[in-house]
Amino acid sequence: MRLEIDQHRLLAELETLASFSDAAPPAVTRIVFTPSDLKARTWLISRCEEAGLTVRQDAIGNIFARWNGADPAAPAVGTGSHMDAIPNAGKYDGVVGVLGGLEALRALQRAGFRPKNSLELLVFATEEPTRFGIGCLGSRLLSGTVSADAAGRLTDGDGESLDEVRRKAGLHGNLQDVKLPTGYYKAFLELHIEQGPLLERTQTPLGIVMSIAAPASLRISVEGAGGHAGGVLMPDRKDALCAAAELVLAIENAARTSGAGDTVATVGVCEVFPGAVNSIPSRVHLTLDIRDTNQARRDRVMQLIESAWQNLAAKRHVSIQPKLLNADAPADCAPEVRAAFSDSCRKHEVAFLEMVSRAYHDSLFISRIAPTGMLFIPCRHGYSHRPDEYAAPEDISRGTLVLAESLAKLSA
């Protein structure tokens, strides 16, 4: 079977999808269920229907575009990723796996391939934690990793519930019905940019993911006593921001001294109240994102951070309260999917690197219900979640070709 990737069309579609954004180019901002996201969804569904795929959406907005195989009752082989983008992001994160997945199916159609197992493009809803505070909500619900009740109680920054938001987006049905039946997928494959520098640094065209790191995240509130910036003398202060600042450095130190370079911790959000020049901060909200390829080590670092804030709270007479949002196990990628990727790479004499994914992905949760694998393409300087995120056309096409061949192998 001679497979050809239509690079011109794939790149044009990537540019079109990037235009559905709330940021000035080259930045892309596409928060789930905003008007830009809804336009992107409508546009993508049309592209899938144009390709003759049968499209449906579930109650959380996961989009399924299916090419029925000769044995429609058999478990499908899935591929896909996400289209939502964090504020001031780039145009490749997630999108390469969505449009690359669609082009892989079209290339197989053009080559006259006839799948035994149905092939399905799955576009996950709300992979980014931006709106509802937890990442991979769509794939968590699909895999039963989060309960429908817990998900339904989530609210966005404006206090709007997930149920209200998804209903306004035209989604009906119950979140209870999102969970996929056992054996729904025979295998699931996700093409994604690496979001790290290894492939570029080693000049390796493709990465085959061995495991996906274990993410955890918390919201931490620090409550002190406010007061007048002039009238309250230093010994009498309970400054929430100074306490938060000390905690942030303790978090950094705990990750740096974990004994392994695989531990990473980030305080990405710091909200100061009341946020007035001449008023002592009385409250600070922090978010903590902490990950490691080794779950036990991650959890040890989390305990170290907890004792740091307990000591801090006592020393500074402030209250420090955590709210755990998620603490997930890592995932190992399936040997049969990794073999499909590596066979295709060898056939095309393309070098590949077996590596870890330090970013989390929907595949982390789909791996709980199906043999799952990820294929990485390089991104320039490893940059991601930034407007200058970039993947070269030939890398996108090469990844799409290997994806298409792997899908064919697993669904033949």
CA distance 407 to 341: 9
Q: Any contact of residue 135 with ligand HGY (CB under 6 A)?
A: yes
Q: Which residues have CB under 8 Å from 332's CB, separation 6+?
A: 210, 211, 367
Measure the CA–CA gap between 188 and 337, rounded to whole angstroms: 8
Distance between CA atoms of residues 198 and 205, nearest Å: 10
For 187-225, the three-class secondary structure string (H helix, E strand, C coil) is: EEEEEEECCCCHHHHCCCCEEEEEEECEEEEEEEEEECE
Q: Which stretch binds ligand HGY (CB under 6 A): 127-135, 169-177, 235-243, 388-396?
A: 127-135
Q: Looking at 78, 80, 90, 94, which residue binds Mn ion (CB under 5 A)?
A: 94
Tell me if 58 contacts Mn ion by CB under 5 A. no
Nearest residue (CB) to Mn ion, 78 versus 94: 94
- Closest contact distance (angstroms) between CB of 265 and Mn ion is 17
> Looking at 128, 194, 239, 328, which residue binds ligand HGY (CB under 6 A)?
128
Q: How far is the CB of 331 from ligand HGY (least distance, A)?
A: 13
Helix (H, G, I), strand (E, B) or coil at 137: helix
Q: Any contact of residue 399 with ligand HGY (CB under 6 A)?
A: no
Q: Least Å distance between CB 219 and ligand HGY?
A: 16
The least distance separating ligand HGY from the CB of residue 13, rounded to whole angstroms, comes to 21
Cis peptide before 87 (omega within 30 of 0): no
Nearer to ligand HGY, 21 or 411 (CB): 21
Q: Is 97 in the site for ligand HGY (CB under 6 A)?
A: no
- Number of residue whose CB is nearest ligand HGY: 359
Do the beta carbons of residue 102 and residue 65 sit within 8 Å?
Answer: yes
Count CB atoms within 10 A of the CB of residue 219.
15
DSSP string across 382-402: G--SSTT----HHHHHHHHHH
Instruction: Read off the amino acid at residue 385.
Output: H
> Would you count residue 124 as binding ligand HGY (CB under 6 A)?
no
**Residue 340 touches ligand HGY, criterion: CB under 6 A:** no
Over the window 33 to 72, marking each residue x when it contacts ligand HGY by CB under 6 A and - when it does not, the resulting string is ----------------------------------------
In terms of CB distance, is 31 or 404 closer to ligand HGY?
31
Q: What is the DSSP string of 238-301?
A: B-HHHHHHHHHHHHHHHHHTSSSTT-EEE---EEEES--TTB---EEEEEEEEEESSHHHHHHH
Q: Quote the tokens at residue 73.
A: 């009752």
- Of 64, 309, 352, 360, the residue at the interface with ligand HGY (CB under 6 A) is 360
Region of 17-25, 92-100, 105-113, 200-208 interacting with Mn ion (CB under 5 A): 92-100
Out of 355, 359, 377, 408, the residue judged to bind ligand HGY by CB under 6 A: 359
Contact residues toward ligand HGY (CB under 6 A) are 127-128, 135, 359-360
